[in-house]
Structure 1
Amino acid sequence: MLAGCAEPANAQPAPAVPSSPVEDAPAASASQETPPRAEPATLPAWPAATAPLTAQPLQVPKGYRKKRIYLDAGHGYRANTGNTSVTCETEADNMLRVAEDLARRLEATGHFKVRLSRRAGKEVHYRTRVSEAESWNADAFVSLHSDSRGEAAWWEAAPGQKCLRQDTTPGYSVLWSDETADPLKTRRVTLARGLAQRIGAAGFLPYDGVDYVGLYEGDPEHPGVFVDRHEPGLRIMMLRRPRVPSVIIETHHALDFEEAARWKELRTLEAFAAAVAQGLVDGLSDSPSPAAPMATTGVAAQK
């Protein structure tokens, strides 16, 4: 589709130095010299291979009712396979794999019942997906996609196999539509913000939206959250049509080699699923769990 929490690990401060020297004071030996202040250790930034991700245990408020989540693996109807990744995988296949993994992990928590929009080899019309979610009385409609951003160049991913590549705009985004009235509009944006907050807190990078100008408007207080601003008549059906809270999660930039590689790893799927689970609880609950701060890079983590 187009375009744990860290704290500084500070050393103990050096002893105070008198404002003026004391006469005849003995010179300090090498062993008595004040050690240099330790600089905070830097952590690699997402999507580096060693960038830290955190899968936090799910926190559920008392009395939380099991929620029905309609999980849509983006694209996959007729000839619409979405983008083609930096390693020449279609978005439809990639997102089906991610959706199947996420569905299994959400249900394993015991707090969600999940229905997938499609299975391998099955084509389901997009309007059918919306009507299925509504008739099932879903508490949320979550559609998974990957982005294709910026000006890409061809490269040879494998001998004789050329794909597009663009390594400068990684990150996730959560999209929603304000093309409805309250209370549904408020429920949509609450869900979008809850999901984005938890995905960011897990260590994923929120996309800055540089290629979204004129298409989506960023939320100034919630990194990674964007509202649909396509021209009327061109706005995203999966965002505006469902009569249940609906969002699209752009999981990553499919043309970024490092980020695409991270989304093949089990640790990425595990951290993503834990973040989505908590984001759903936060976004669909009357008493959400305390908000987690966004993960930071550049300082050492202390658990």
Structure 2
Amino acid sequence: MPKTFLLMRLGLALWAGAAASFETATVVPAPTWPAPGAPLTVAEVRFPKGFGKRRIYLDAGHGAEGNTGNKGVTCEDEETFTLRVAEDLAKRLEATGHFQVRLSRRPGERVPYAARVTAAEQWRAHAMLSLHSDSRGTATPWSPTPDQQCNRQDSAPGFTVLWSESAEATALLQAGRASLARALARRLGQAGFPPYDGVDYEGLYAIDTEQSGVFVAREPTHRQIFVLRKPRIPSVIIETHHALDFEEAARWREQRTLEAFAAAVAQGLVDALAPEAPAKASASAPR
């Protein structure tokens, strides 16, 4: 058999082997939130020319008398979590140079919800954001440490943004609430935070059909929440994550999560408060 022919056959055999190996190679998908290593994007925040500085009233949810909120998978009170995240978010928003932020409470303070709404309105805030964590599904007891017993439920991660169609709100105010909620949810999704599907929200909130992750409190059939229905400025609740999900709660202690969250919130605020301005960068959020 000619040497050239043997070389051709050998080449074909090597090519066939390589092709077979390529076809059977296992493609490992990227991890998805909240798995460790699931990527989040810290996007550059773009401020249109003339945006100026907007006043944002940042409510650390719960922390009122007798109201500590839920207890998370490591037995952390919701009021502790929301204050920690609100303080971090306030610093990052103000660092852009385009936001002035006031917090609803400081460590050790017990501030009634009515006082928070009054403070936001008297300050003439452009928007009120109330930060919370969610508690979903049927949990089971577990012990993160030998001397603790907490609750755990790992099957419902993700964020939601809530707004209210309260009867006393004008059509303009309702539109402002909806625009703010949708803009924030859109930017959070783009950053890599997954929206919760709302399976446990039946009878509490309606699905906002224009943006995934957004839900509406509609009177009189759905839950009425003071900080959603009472403010005369656009107001929303951000349920940052499922507090009983062990992996997701752990991710919310990472600096990357806080950075991505702040950038998404900042851009969502820009989108909602200056929707007709040209998208021209003038500053960026800290990275």
Q: Same fold (TM over 0.5)?
A: yes
For residue 92 of structure 1, the aligned residue among 79, 85, 102 is: 79
Is 1:272 the counterpart of 2:255? The answer is no
Deviations 1:25-54 (A, max 9, x none): x65534555744688652111000110000
Q: Which residue number corresponds to residue 29 of structure 1?
A: 12
The verdict on how the C-alpha distance between 1:40 and 1:137 changes in structure 2, with shifts beyond 3 A counting, is farther
Structure 1 length-normalised TM: 0.83
For 2:157, the equivalent position in structure 1 comes to 170
CA distance in structure 2 between the partners assigned to 1:191 and 1:268 by the alignment: 21
**Which structure: greater helix fraction?**
2
Residue matched to 1:47: 34
Output the CA distance in 2 between the equivalents of 1:65 and 1:39.
51
Kindly, what percent of the aligned residue pairs are identical? 59
The answer (yes or no) to whether the contact 1:85–1:163 under 8 Å persists in 2 is: yes
Q: For each residue in 1:233-288, what CA deviation from the matched residue of structure 2 results, as whole angstroms up to 9, or x when unmatched?
A: 95011001000000000000000000000011111101100100001101111326
Q: Which of 122, 136, 140 is 1:149 aligned to?
A: 136
**1:66-119 deviation per Cα after TM superposition (whole angstroms, max 9, x unaligned):** 110000000001110000000000000010000000000000001100000000
> Is contact 1:167-1:257 (8 Å) kept?
yes
Contact conserved, 2:173 with 2:233, CA < 8 A, in 1? yes
Q: Tell me how large the CA RMSD over aligned residues is.
A: 1.9
1:259 counterpart residue number: 248
Structure 2 matches for 1:194-209, cutoff 5 A? 194-209=183-198
Aligned residues of 1:172 and 1:250 also touching (Cα < 8 A)? yes
- Matched residue of 2:200: which SS? coil
- Find the counterpart in structure 2 of residue 63 from structure 1: 50
Relative to structure 1, is the Cα distance of residues 224 and 79 closer, same or farther in structure 2, using a 3 angstrom cutoff?
same
2:210 equivalent in structure 1: 221
2:102 to 87, 104, 115: 115
Partner of 2:3: none
Residue 246 (str. 1) matches residue 235 (str. 2) = yes
Change (3 A) 1:233 1:57: closer
Q: Which 4+ runs in 1 deviate beyond 6 A?
A: 37-40
Preserved CA contact (<8 Å) 1:214 1:229: no
Change (3 A) 1:218 1:288: farther
Code of the aligned partner of 1:250:
E
Q: TM-score, normalised by structure 2?
A: 0.87
1:160 equivalent in structure 2? 147
Between Structure 1 and Structure 2, how many residues are aligned?
265
Give 1:218 shift: 1.2
Partner of 1:77: 64
The alpha-carbon deviation at position 219 of structure 1 amounts to 1.7
Q: Closer, same or farther in 2 for the Cα pair 1:49/1:85, shift >3 Å?
A: same
Partner of 1:182: 171
SS at match of 2:177: helix
Partner-residue secondary structure (3-state), 2:199: coil
Tell whether the 8 Å contact from 1:216 to 1:230 is kept in structure 2 after alignment.
Answer: no
Please state if 1:127 is matched with 2:114: yes
* 8 Å Cα contact 1:61-1:287 kept in structure 2: no
In structure 2, the residue corresponding to 1:145 is in which secondary structure?
Answer: strand
Q: Structure 1 stretches of 5 or more lacking a match?
A: 1-25, 291-303
Aligned AA (2:141): W
Tell me by how many angstroms 1:213 deviates: 0.5
| 2-structure distance, mates of 1:129, 1:221 | 29
- Are positions 1:191 and 2:180 aligned together? yes
